[in-house]
Structure 1
Amino acid sequence: MKKVLVAIDYNPVSEKVARAALDLIKNMPAEICLIHVLADVSYYGAEFPTFMGYDGYAGAGPDFEMALEMRKVAEDFLEKAAAHIDHPNVSTYLAEGGTANAILAYAEEWKADLLVMGTHSHSGLEKLLMGTVAEKVIEKTKIPVYLVPVKKN
């Protein structure tokens, strides 16, 4: 195992996920990449003619300055997380789009040997309607996944 991709979100439980990954590879000279995924908001501001009865935004669309600020916050979060885990071969990657698909795409691009991610507790209704990121990743992955059970406080 040479390349371990660790999916973290903007929540304190991410530290538990990162620590589990470090414990797993403590005696191996592996690289670690921390990945965080932002939802893609850019398409909401596209100006289209009326379609399907929808006129689009009449004036103020999404706040792109806020979206840029959110990206800066995420970049800062990843930078500090990488420094905090204090591993000699750590890198970061900020992805955009659907979380599961973004994780899977980068795992393939980076040629990860293992994906480490947390499994959050969700309500039964939320799982029924949306599934979970972990379920979606496991369904489509081509590499092993190490799941760390975590609960949001």
Structure 2
Amino acid sequence: MKKVVIAIDYNPTSEKVVRMGREIAQLMNAEICLLHVLADVRYYGMQYEPFMGYEGYAFPVDFHIQEDMIKVAEDYLAKTAKHLDNQNVSTHLAEGDTAKSIIKFSEEWNADLIVMGTHSHGTLEKLLLGTVPSGVLERTKIPVYLIPTGEK
């Protein structure tokens, strides 16, 4: 195993995921790619008529929000990579569905392992919405190392 993708989000528990992912990669003398997926925020700029009494979309929107979100995410990845202080670390910013984007990039990069955290969500939320780790596990052939990050 020579390539490890570490998928991170903005949750402070990502520090634990990065630390443990780096330890695994160091044991294998593997290259690391820090991956963050930015959800498609273009829909925030859409204007909808009020519906069902909800007028949340009837406000002026800054159409540069996508660019701003990309800059924030790139800065986050760069600072996280610098924190690792390792020459075998690269970064990648993907956009779209999180689980699908993690799989797509990991396959394109020929990753040998995907490292990601599992947040503590309630049973009902998991049933209704699913989780990103379960979405990745269901669709990938690449081994996945899950790090529990919840308090429970």
TM-score (norm: length of structure 1): 0.85
Question: Residue 117 of structure 1: SS of its match in structure 2?
Answer: strand
The farther-off stretch of 101-110 and 122-131 is: 122-131
Matches within 5 A, 1:1-80: 1-42=1-42, 62-80=61-79
What letter is aligned with 2:118?
T
**In the alignment, which residue of structure 2 is the partner of 1:53?**
none
Instruction: State whether residues 82 and 91 of structure 1, in contact with CA within 8 Å, keep that contact through their aligned partners in structure 2.
Output: yes
How many angstroms does 1:136 deviate by? 0.4
Question: Residue 26 of structure 1: SS of its match in structure 2?
Answer: helix
Instruction: State whether residues 37 and 94 of structure 1, in contact with CA within 8 Å, keep that contact through their aligned partners in structure 2.
Output: yes
**In the alignment, which residue of structure 1 is the partner of 2:54?**
none
What letter is aligned with 2:27?
N
How many angstroms does 1:10 deviate by? 0.8
Matches within 5 A, 1:42-121: 42=42, 62-121=61-120
Question: Residue 27 of structure 1: SS of its match in structure 2?
Answer: helix
Structure 1 distance, partners of 2:96, 2:76, is 18
Number of residue pairs the alignment of both structures matches: 146
Question: Residue 64 of structure 1: SS of its match in structure 2?
Answer: coil
The farther-off stretch of 73-82 and 23-32 is: 23-32
Taking every aligned residue pair, what percent have the same amino acid on both sides?
A: 60
Cα distance, 1:112–1:120 mapped onto 2, change above 3 Å: same
The answer for unaligned runs of 5 or more in structure 1 is 48-57
The farther-off stretch of 36-45 and 74-83 is: 36-45
TM-score (norm: length of structure 2): 0.85
How many angstroms does 1:28 deviate by? 2.8
How many angstroms does 1:26 deviate by? 2.0
The answer for unaligned runs of 5 or more in structure 2 is 48-56
Structure 2 distance, partners of 1:90, 1:120, is 24
Q: CA RMSD in A?
A: 2.5
Stretches of 4+ moved more than 3 A in 1? 43-47, 58-62
